[in-house]
A and B are shown apart, each in its own frame.
Chain A
Amino acid sequence: MKIRGAYIAAAVAAAIMIAFPAFLGAYPLNVARSVMTYMALAVSWDMLLRSGQISFGIAGLFGLGSYASILAVLRGGMDPLLSIAFAALVAGLVAFALGFAILRLRAMYFSITTLALMEIFRIIMHNLHDFSGGPEGVVLPEVIFGGDASALYWLCLGGLAVTIGASWYFERSKLRLALTAIRNDETSARSNGIDIFKYLLVAFVVTSTLQGMMGAIQVQSYGFTTPDTAFDANFTLLPLAMALLGGIHSTIGPMAGAVLLGIASEWLKLKIPYGHLVVYGVIIIIVILFMPNGLFGLARKAIRKAGGAGSPGSASNGSDAEEGAR
């Protein structure tokens, strides 16, 4: 019963999301696209985090995907839609090759190396003047779908749906058990017969593919990119803050965080042109210090407390708790 309730809620939410362009103007749709992009990145970051590996290189794979897509269209004459799949494939392959080296690293070494990789990608794109356009970047002759706001929105929504679907699969399949075991105690996971490297590689390649895909969607929607916009540190920072605020190790947490922070940042951007990102830094600090499980962790605790006091009438809350607990 509870599970069916959750499915119905998800279907209703999806229907509303799909219908958005019918009753929203161009600017709200643009905001929605940026929120969805960050949401997909936040969810994908969290998917790798579930194995205990913290990546600071989201922007690296995002930028790699956007360059792969724009260059495939510009230099290879590829169809824009196809180039998105191509970019996802490139990001996945690069992650596969790199994974053999960097997935042997743990903790701070892994994190710093992903950060360094992002810088390397950026410097390469900066310096290959003839191929990638150098510091000025590259411009497409025309945006995908002729720049139609609704079509762009649905494209981005499609990317987000793929990401959420992957994350949902991660949560419900055997993968979740393996990744959680690795996160909790690597030695005991290994002694229980889990092929740690294989699972980490799967998680790393899948999340990188998703990040590359979102980069490609973003670049096709705006029609241009430069090394500094493609590898903008914000693509690392914002998803991180969103996932932390919402609650890590779940799909719903990063999604909620992205909606909250995405809309808040759009508002703050107008109020404070310089330095509105301070909010993100402060949120990261507060979450780490006071609520390491994020908003959903707090909600779960509150619900459990309420449930302990004895309130059988709150069936609708129960389904939320079920969702959060996964």
Chain B
Amino acid sequence: MVNKRKTTLVVALIAAAAVIILAWRPTVLIYGLQAAGLYASIAVPMGLILGIVHIVNLAHGEFLMVAAYATYLLCKSLGIDPYLALLPVTAVTAGLGFVVYKLTIRQTLKAPELNQLILTFGLGISMTQIANLLFTSQTRKLSFDYVSASIDIGELSFGVYNFVFLGAALLMVVGLRWYLTRTTAGKAAVAVGQNPRGAAIVGIDVDRTYGFVFAMATALVGMMGAMLITRSAVFPTVGSPYTMKSFCLVAMAGIGNIPGILGASILLGVSENLLKAFRGLRGWADIVFFVLIITVILGRSIRGKKA
């Protein structure tokens, strides 16, 4: 009962904040939502891995970077659009994810959690540095006309292309929800996530499920890497910031809560753009993530102690 009242209060507060922002600077809300789409669509695959395989993949952003480079090379050599390259790139990163899982992560599943953390850290560094070795640290950019599409409403003019990422995020959340609750393989994956030993006892192949989920998550990241190239330049460390941001969002939403990631992304995207709206505070926008991540993690640990 109390909980319900609390939820209503929170929803009312959020709605009020949204209305105020909309009246004052509508672009903050629009660009905030667009940024939220990008953050959420990259964070959801990490949430999937964390929720089912229970691995913090610190090489998450690096898979994004590999996909972006693959898309860049494909588009450059064949002259095609990134959205055409999306399918082959997704297949490639899924394969890469599967191989990486089989060769490395699988070996440390039984080891202490710290080993897994250090392992994925090392994987991330290796991938960034291999990109450095192959492509140097030079930034590369492809430009497309449709990216600059904009809409005018009254006096307001804003870019609409980036809403594509919000669409992708929504699609991902809905698709995963359907997969995890309606299909047999998805239900099995949830069972493995909840209790690997119990799942093994009732006859689910845990190892195969882990491998499949890992590959699926990297495929989704690969898809986002292909889409990322339409709006961002490519360089070896392009993915690194997203690892931290994704973990932050997953931790905020709570492990295993995939729709919650979308909500957390909207909170972050909007507050980041709110800071950017003030000229003097623009440089501080990056800090929002880190302050939020620490607040959330500490808040959770303190609440956990009380309970």
| Residues in chain A within 8 A of chain B (CB atoms) | 52, 54, 56, 101-102, 104-105, 107-109, 111-113, 115-117, 119-120, 123-124, 126-127, 237, 240-241, 244, 272, 274-278, 280-285, 288-289, 292
Query: In the bound complex, do residue B126 and residue A288 qualify as a contact, i.e. CB atoms below 8 Å apart?
Result: no
Interface centre among A111, A274, A276 (most CB of B within 10 A): A274
Contact partner of A119 (CB less than 8 A), chosen from B56, B244, B297, is: B244
Indicate if B1 sits at the interface (CB-CB under 8 A): no
Q: In the assembly, what is the distance between CA of A280 and CA of B124, in Å?
A: 11
Please name the residue on chain B nearest to A288 by beta carbon: B119
Complex Cα spacing A244 to B114, Å = 12
CB distance from A156 to the nearest CB of B (A): 26
- Chain B interface SS verdict (over half): helix
Instruction: Tell me which residues across on chain B come within 8 A of A52, comparing CB atoms.
Output: 114
Contact B119 A109 (CB under 8 A): no
Q: Does B23 count as interface, using CB distance less than 8 angstroms?
A: no
B302 touches A104 (CB 8 A): yes
Task: Compute the total of residue contacts between A and B using a CB distance below 8 Å.
Answer: 125
Cα–Cα, bound, A108→B134 (Å): 32
Other than the given A116-B289, A278-B129, A278-B130, 14 more pairs (CB < 8 A) read A107-B117, A109-B251, A109-B301, A116-B293, A119-B287, A120-B291, A274-B136, A275-B131, A277-B129, A278-B132, A278-B133, A284-B126, A289-B108, A289-B119
| Residue in contact with A289 in the complex, picked from B107, B125, B127, CB distance below 8 Å | B107
User: Shortest CB–CB separation between residue B125 and chain A, in angstroms?
Assistant: 3
Residues on B with C-beta less than 8 A from A102 are 294, 298
Is the pair B129, A284 in contact by a Cβ cutoff of 8 Å?
A: no
Which residues of chain B are within 8 angstroms of A285 by Cβ–Cβ distance? 104, 119, 122-123, 126
Interface size on B, residues (CB 8 A): 45
Q: Is the CB of A107 within 8 A of B126?
A: no
Question: Which residues of B sit under 8 angstroms from A101, Cβ to Cβ?
Answer: 294, 298
Inter-chain contact A281/B123, CB cutoff 8 Å: yes
22 contacts between A and B (CB under 8 A): A54-B117, A104-B298, A104-B301, A105-B297, A107-B113, A111-B117, A116-B244, A116-B248, A116-B289, A116-B293, A120-B287, A123-B283, A123-B290, A126-B283, A240-B118, A240-B121, A272-B133, A275-B131, A280-B129, A282-B126, A284-B122, A288-B118
Contact at A108–B290, with CB atoms within 8 Å?
Answer: no
- Give the chain B neighbours of A126 by CB distance below 8 A: 283
B-side contacts of A112, CB under 8 Å: 56, 244, 247, 251, 293, 297
A277:B125 contact, CB within 8 angstroms: yes
Q: Is B137 an interface residue (CB 8 A)?
A: yes
Q: What is the 8 Å Cβ interface bit string for chain B, positions 241-257, against chain A (1 contact, 0 not)?
A: 00010011001000000
CB-CB < 8 A to A288: which residues of B?
Answer: 108, 111, 115, 118-119, 122
- Residues of B contacting A292 in the complex (Cβ-Cβ under 8 angstroms): 111, 115
Q: By the criterion CB–CB under 8 Å, are B132 and A123 in contact?
A: no
Q: Decide: A56 and B121 in contact? CB cutoff 8 A.
A: yes
Closest B residue to A116 by beta carbon equals B290
Q: Which residue among B133, B244, B289 has the maximum number of chain A CB atoms within 10 Å of its CB?
A: B133
Q: A101-B298, A112-B297, A244-B118 given as contacts; is B284 within 8 A of A274 (CB)?
A: no
Q: Contacts of A244 on B, CB cut-off 8 Å?
A: 118
Measured in the bound complex, the distance between the Cα atoms of B286 and A17 in whole Å is 44
